[in-house]
Structure 1
Amino acid sequence: MKNCDQQGCLGVTGGSTVEISPQIILMCENSRDPWAIKDLESRFIYGNKANAALLNLPSKFDIESRLDSEIPNPTADFACNFQEHDRKVIELKQNISSLDIYTYGREQITQPYISEKSPLHNQDGKCIGVIFHIRKCHFFPTTSFIGGKLPCSLVFDPPEDLFTKDELEVVFLAIHRMSAKEIAKELDLLDRTIEKRLGNIYRKIGVSFLRQLIDYCQTKGFDRYIPPRFFKPGSKFIDYMQ
């Protein structure tokens, strides 16, 4: 940012200059996680290098004074979601967390992140904007705790290229104990299509029963994989008190 360095940051909000403390800028600049600051109108005042990398911004792109809708990234289509979060933080004057599933990074992979937004106050205690931190989301399947094993986070890329995209969707549902008929209904396919795919899956790994498929998937890590079909772009507020 042209007006930000380790001496602090100057931004403009509502026609007034906003000064961000050097301690905040130093913390953000030295973090590997994405951090950004917006004004009361949801315009960016600051974003660190990790934030630029997450959004896959061009090297010379200046995020200052931009709205989410003006960012050259697929997330721009969901600007209304981000601005709703900003307004909620400012109105309630409290931290708000959300699960955000969007297309991120140079690889343009749809994946989940936790966004934690907080009101930013000046020395007089007046709210001058929103500061937010984004981190990768790690889910832990409850089955990973069985047998005293250390929990492993869910993954969004298949651990091996053994199965086709269609087969991976069937595997995902099958190891969650759905019958062939239930899988067919979920995927909007004929029963015999699912039975054929299950047969192909069993042949590929040399098994005959569901229990064997589940054991194989737990050994190879397929039980931690979620096909893209089952997570869609969007945001959901997180209530940790529920």
Structure 2
Amino acid sequence: MVFDNMPRTKKHIIGDYARENRVTEMRETLAYVGEAFRFFMESTNEPWEIVDCYGNYCFGNAALKRLLCLSDTFNFEGKHYSEIPARPFEECALDFYQQDVRCMNTRVPVKVLDVHMDDDGEWFCYIFERTPLVNNDQVIGLTDHGKSVIKFWKESMSYLLAMQYYFTGEKQVSMQISTTNNLSQRESEVLFFLLGQIEPKRIARYLNLSLSTVNSYIDRMRKKLGCQTTPQLIEKAVWLDLHKILPEKLMGDCHISLILD
């Protein structure tokens, strides 16, 4: 395993060993990825990053800098992720480390839901997919690609509308849209995770509730929004712009980074 001898606390995750091996590991990782792929990552509007097997940054594109409110001149290369001067890394460095451990030890891509607040009180919600880089049967790092959850929901809605038009000839959703939102705080929290395609059993674990309680909240929301099924509930919530609302309890100074599986 790559991380068998690595320290397990945020305080020690950089370590002298990681510092001594930065240049060699980063060069090996970058050589494997290649310039063409790096050019693609830099030219896209979605955040991309490359990290070696010790958590040192080899690359971070302009979209990632914008997302983290870093200057255009900021250089990721050579910095450990616990050294990135952005609030998500201050709050969740250990979470990121553990996610990388899982990705590289299992050699299986890992999807993560990240919700963070910036210094201006704005929040972003992204799904990042970490993919291990394997060269000659050795894990040498990973790539990480983020996609806006709101953009994902909007794309999903366009697919639903296209399917509806194909089967029924109707271009609009066949339901009454209400402008009122009478959801309780707990219902809003459950809906937030539900919109992120998280199963009720995992929502129960994240919110420290029983599965039956989570299901009862979902039932109540269906009744309040006039929906028969959970997919209808998600569809209507998006049309009501409820996907843009982060529940108050999850705001404050809270930063969330959760593995989605």
- TM-score by length of structure 2 reads 0.54
Corresponding residue for 2:256?
Answer: 234
Corresponding residue for 1:189?
Answer: none
Deviation of 1:59 (Å) = 2.8
The amino acid across from 1:83 in the alignment is: Y
Residue 127 (structure 1) aligned with residue 139 (structure 2): yes
Matched residue SS, 1:27: helix
Q: Which is richer in strand?
A: 1
**Would the alpha carbon gap of residues 214 and 47 (structure 1) be closer, same or farther in structure 2, given more than 3 Å must change?**
same
Query: Aligned equivalents of 2:45 and 2:70: distance in 1?
Result: 16
The amino acid across from 1:136 in the alignment is: S
Deviation of 1:223 (Å) = 4.6
Residue 32 (structure 1) aligned with residue 45 (structure 2): yes
Once the two structures are superposed, residues 108-147 of structure 1 have per-residue CA deviations (whole angstroms, 9 ceiling, x without a partner) of 522321010011133x343211111011114759xx98xx
Residue 58 (structure 1) aligned with residue 71 (structure 2): yes
Structure-to-structure mapping, 1:179-218, within 5 angstroms: none
CA RMSD of aligned residues (A): 3.8
Deviation of 1:173 (Å) = 1.8
Once the two structures are superposed, residues 42-71 of structure 1 have per-residue CA deviations (whole angstroms, 9 ceiling, x without a partner) of 110101111111111123322112122211
Mean CA deviation greater in 30-39 or 66-75? 66-75
Residue 101 (structure 1) aligned with residue 115 (structure 2): yes
Corresponding residue for 1:82?
Answer: 96
The amino acid across from 2:34 in the alignment is: S
**Do the aligned residues in 2 keep the contact of 1:118 with 1:131 (CA within 8 Å)?**
yes
Structure-to-structure mapping, 1:137-148, within 5 angstroms: 137-138=149-150
Deviation of 1:228 (Å) = 3.5
Query: Aligned equivalents of 1:23 and 1:125: distance in 2?
Result: 23
Number of aligned pairs? 172
Deviation of 1:91 (Å) = 0.5
Once the two structures are superposed, residues 21-42 of structure 1 have per-residue CA deviations (whole angstroms, 9 ceiling, x without a partner) of 1122122022110000011111
Matched residue SS, 1:101: strand
Matched residue SS, 1:29: helix
**Would the alpha carbon gap of residues 100 and 223 (structure 1) be closer, same or farther in structure 2, given more than 3 Å must change?**
closer
The amino acid across from 1:173 in the alignment is: S
Query: Aligned equivalents of 2:54 and 2:71: distance in 1?
Result: 24
Of 103, 128, 135, the residue aligned with 1:115 is 128
Once the two structures are superposed, residues 199-231 of structure 1 have per-residue CA deviations (whole angstroms, 9 ceiling, x without a partner) of xxxxxxxxxxxxxx958x989835545344143
Mean CA deviation greater in 26-35 or 15-24? 15-24
**Do the aligned residues in 2 keep the contact of 1:100 with 1:236 (CA within 8 Å)?**
yes
**Would the alpha carbon gap of residues 223 and 34 (structure 1) be closer, same or farther in structure 2, given more than 3 Å must change?**
closer
Mean CA deviation greater in 68-77 or 86-95? 68-77
Larger Rg, first or second structure (1 or 2): 1
**Do the aligned residues in 1 keep the contact of 2:125 with 2:149 (CA within 8 Å)?**
yes
The amino acid across from 1:226 in the alignment is: I
Residue 172 (structure 1) aligned with residue 198 (structure 2): no
**Do the aligned residues in 2 keep the contact of 1:172 with 1:223 (CA within 8 Å)?**
no
Q: Which is richer in helix?
A: 2
**Would the alpha carbon gap of residues 112 and 222 (structure 1) be closer, same or farther in structure 2, given more than 3 Å must change?**
closer
Query: Aligned equivalents of 1:224 and 1:26: distance in 2?
Result: 33
**Would the alpha carbon gap of residues 121 and 108 (structure 1) be closer, same or farther in structure 2, given more than 3 Å must change?**
farther
Matched residue SS, 2:123: strand
- TM-score by length of structure 1 reads 0.58
Query: Aligned equivalents of 2:148 and 2:101: distance in 1?
Result: 23
Corresponding residue for 1:91?
Answer: 105
Q: Which runs of 5+ in 1 are unaligned?
A: 1-11, 152-159, 178-212
**Would the alpha carbon gap of residues 107 and 136 (structure 1) be closer, same or farther in structure 2, given more than 3 Å must change?**
farther
